[in-house]
Structure 1
Amino acid sequence: MKFINKKKILHYIQENPGHSRTEIAKALSISKPTISKLVDELINEGWFREKESTSSSSSGGRRAFQIYFKHNAKYIVGVDIGGTSVEMAIMNLRGDLIEKVVFSTQKYLSKNLVQVIANHIHSLITKSGLDNSQILGVGLGVPGITDVEKGLVFDAPSLGWKQYPLVKKLGELLSFPVYVDNDVNVAALGEQWKGAGKDKRNILQITLGTGVGCGMIINGQLYRGSSFAAGEIGYMVTDRHAAEEAYDSIFSGYGFLDSHVGGPSITKRMLKHLGTGDEESDDWPAKKIFEMAIAGDENALNIVQDALSHLGFALINVISIVNPECVIIGGGLSKSMHHFLPDIKLTIDKHLPIEASVTITTLEDVAILGAAYLVLKEHDSILQV
């Protein structure tokens, strides 16, 4: 009970800084002597600081002491491992980035990528003027299905990892805990902590990139499914007739929706229209095709509208199952989506009576923030949220 009460007090002050012991006792319905004793312990342990109020009490007595959470009491590391690049940052418990680094994934993939990640983490700690004892843990987002309990990456095609013991391998190189999850789940956590999902308990995070991913937060917690594969909506079928016929899968292992909405599928359709070969695909990134569509190019517009029609119907299906408060669209392609968002909303509203806010993320560094927040979610400590 003592630990539970200390945790309640700590989280209350995190959200309500500057309150006095009396105010904390009243808000949490815990006796004033108990609050006073536990606050003193939290101050001695380095979690809180107190400051004398600038105003006297209403009765004219001595000034109360205001309690504040020390956001620099510990630090966390967030790592986003992408198929193209690895981004990582060290931050305090409020999510303020202290140091950040980005480097190529493919350059080091065949040269012990895990060792390179560990080296960069140590470098970030040194540059930040910290030592290992101040690090609560490191969280990682990986583009693949992960077993968060065993720390295994089941399958990450862009990294060539299958049944890869990432937590064990990285943990052997670090002196603090390591946690891992799917990159879309991690992005959902970032939005829950610092983005459009803050203060919301039911969130859908949709990522648009090479494929289509979905992270689900239900009743305030990530929903991962029985085998950690919840949210794999890239396999969703949004046209029965097209699915029964042979359709062009963008990559082996990718699903129907991936093959109609993902960036490479949009590129492939443009190349097919132009009658050119795959060797020219780099000249036609999906972002360029979106820009052409916005400028009024008829062929680009048809390709983009067809892709977003599939996305709209996929969102209808997922919203009808999950009933979220908000749907947040992120990923590389999201930056090209603003012009078309009203059309997607019209499609949803036409077929679905359930209300759900659909927005495009504005949160910078969402993946590394979410990876760091994963530590606060999974690490068994007084800070666990």
Structure 2
Amino acid sequence: MKFIHKGGTAFIKEKNKRNILHCIKGDGPLSRTEIAERLQLSKPTVSAIVEELLNEKWIKESGIGVSKSLGGRKPIQLVFNCRAAYVIGVDIGGTKVRIGISDLDGNLLDVDEFSTQNHIHSSFLHAIKERVEMLLEKQGMMNGEILGMGIGAPGMTDVDRGIVIDAPSLGWSNYPLKKEAEALFPWPVLVDNDVNVAAIGEQWLGAAKGLSNVVLIAIGTGVGCGIIINGQLYRGATWAAGEIGYMVTDAAKAKGANLSTPHEGYGFLERFTGGPGIVQSMQHELKGRPADHSFPRDFTARDVFQKARQGDPDALQVINEVIDHIGFAVANVISIINPEIVLLGGGISKSADWFMPRIQNIIQDFASVSAPVKTTAFGEDLGVVGAVSLVLRETESVLKEM
């Protein structure tokens, strides 16, 4: 990276260029004159930089504005070109991997997915590369049009080194994900914990848009928590912030819990509220009873929720306990973080309309303050949009300060 001395002519130009682009992106369409007035820059300076941005295709002319003076020349309007480049977002989950191509405004143009466990033990990143190449071909895109790739991984992740420290659902320990991915792809790769990227995605375009203190709790194969404090993602001293899957929400049960199942390395809360844990609890509830033909042979956590909603007493007992654990975890997090909003994501959020009143009652009874609890806005595309936002947030596009 070239060095540009702060205060020098080149530095000032880059700063002005970045500010003009952000001004157009956030407030466009704008004329050159309006940009000069808003940023208090000279009209020649704005005109010269606008021409550069037009040539580089970061902005485009969108039409004619309204003249401020009677009979005066109507100004050309400028808008951000969200198709100037594209970003690949990859959401790696314990069950499936979802991949998407997005423009610079976060609009997903296409997505694909495949089973994690079918590929995790061999050629995992090659499977991702194969899907990415298929998506690019389908969209008629070249590698040079891709600004970068963001990857969300289900475990503690050292963002600086791009290493997944621990991902129990994948069997990864100190896995150099960034290095391995950049060896396969011709663009920059950024990696982070999957729930962290989901949180910044929701803050960027979703249910937490415009908020500065946000907690997102995702419950799927495992349980994770993304925390945004004062507008910044909080990762912790050793990248372990938000690992609430290890939170204890019942002291008596914790003392006798077998935490080696269903997966080695899972914490107490995950043992009872993660998908495999729910299945195991249901199996334990049905053990020793006559075969219940209303449950499929290889039932899932979704099946247990469905049975509970239908009034099955055994399923209700299991799910009520699950919701209690989640409620206590949410109440604890609210008391510690004091967020503006708590978002629930992952597979369990699909049943949130049914169990949300129970969560709210627990918060009211046990949290120090209240906070609204809502589901995430993006559903199954949450992780992909978050991974895209990771690239744009961390790099500030091509105009990152040097």
- TM-score class normalised by the smaller sequence: over 0.9
Q: How does 1:103-114 map to 2 (within 5 A)?
A: 103-114=114-125
SS at match of 1:60: coil
Unaligned runs of 5+ in 1: none
1:269–1:83 Cα change, 3 Å: closer
SS at match of 1:130: coil
Counterpart code for 1:272? H
SS at match of 2:393: helix
- 2:91/2:153 contact within 8 Å kept: yes
Q: How does 1:122-271 map to 2 (within 5 A)?
A: 122-247=133-258, 249-271=261-283
Partner of 2:21: 10
Counterpart code for 2:357? P
**1:90: how far off?**
1.4
> 1:368 and 2:384 equivalent?
yes
SS at match of 1:78: strand
Partner of 2:9: none
1:181–1:282 Cα change, 3 Å: farther
1:107–1:245 Cα change, 3 Å: closer
- Provide the rounded CA distance (Å) in 2 between the counterparts of 1:192 and 1:49: 27
**1:5: how far off?**
2.5
The equivalent position to 1:321 in structure 2, one of 326, 336, 344, is: 336
Aligned identity (percent) is: 48
**1:283: how far off?**
3.6
Instruction: Please give the per-residue CA displacement for 1:171-214, whole angstroms capped at 9, x wherever unaligned.
Output: 11221111111111121122122210111122111101122210
- Provide the rounded CA distance (Å) in 1 between the counterparts of 2:262 and 2:117: 20
SS at match of 2:24: helix
The equivalent position to 2:320 in structure 1, one of 280, 296, 305, is: 305
**1:99: how far off?**
2.7
Counterpart code for 1:12? C
- 1:115/1:170 contact within 8 Å kept: no
- 1:186/1:367 contact within 8 Å kept: yes
Counterpart code for 1:101? D
- 2:221/2:275 contact within 8 Å kept: yes
SS at match of 1:251: coil
**1:275: how far off?**
1.4
With the length of structure 1 as denominator, give the TM-score of the two structures.
Answer: 0.92
SS at match of 2:118: helix
SS at match of 1:238: coil
**1:238: how far off?**
1.5
SS at match of 2:131: helix
My pick for the range that moved more, 199-208 or 13-22, is: 13-22
**1:18: how far off?**
0.9
Q: How does 1:67-146 map to 2 (within 5 A)?
A: 67-146=78-157
Counterpart code for 1:290? F
1:103–1:264 Cα change, 3 Å: closer
SS at match of 1:241: helix
The equivalent position to 1:332 in structure 2, one of 326, 340, 347, is: 347
- Provide the rounded CA distance (Å) in 2 between the counterparts of 1:188 and 1:164: 23
Instruction: Please give the per-residue CA displacement for 1:52-99, whole angstroms capped at 9, x wherever unaligned.
Output: 425332443110111101111011101112222221111211122223
SS at match of 1:83: coil
1:177–1:20 Cα change, 3 Å: same
- Provide the rounded CA distance (Å) in 2 between the counterparts of 1:31 and 1:4: 14
- Provide the rounded CA distance (Å) in 1 between the counterparts of 2:119 and 2:188: 23
1:273–1:232 Cα change, 3 Å: same
My pick for the range that moved more, 43-52 or 129-138, is: 43-52
1:132–1:276 Cα change, 3 Å: farther
- Provide the rounded CA distance (Å) in 2 between the counterparts of 1:369 and 1:101: 13
Instruction: Please give the per-residue CA displacement for 1:284-316, whole angstroms capped at 9, x wherever unaligned.
Output: 322222222222333322322222112111111
My pick for the range that moved more, 174-183 or 353-362, is: 353-362
- 1:287/1:336 contact within 8 Å kept: no
Counterpart code for 1:167? K
- Provide the rounded CA distance (Å) in 2 between the counterparts of 1:323 and 1:2: 41
- Provide the rounded CA distance (Å) in 1 between the counterparts of 2:169 and 2:349: 20
With the length of structure 2 as denominator, give the TM-score of the two structures.
Answer: 0.88
- Provide the rounded CA distance (Å) in 2 between the counterparts of 1:110 and 1:300: 34
- Provide the rounded CA distance (Å) in 2 between the counterparts of 1:192 and 1:134: 26
Counterpart code for 1:307? V
1:58–1:241 Cα change, 3 Å: farther
- 2:98/2:384 contact within 8 Å kept: yes
Q: How does 1:331-350 map to 2 (within 5 A)?
A: 331-350=346-365
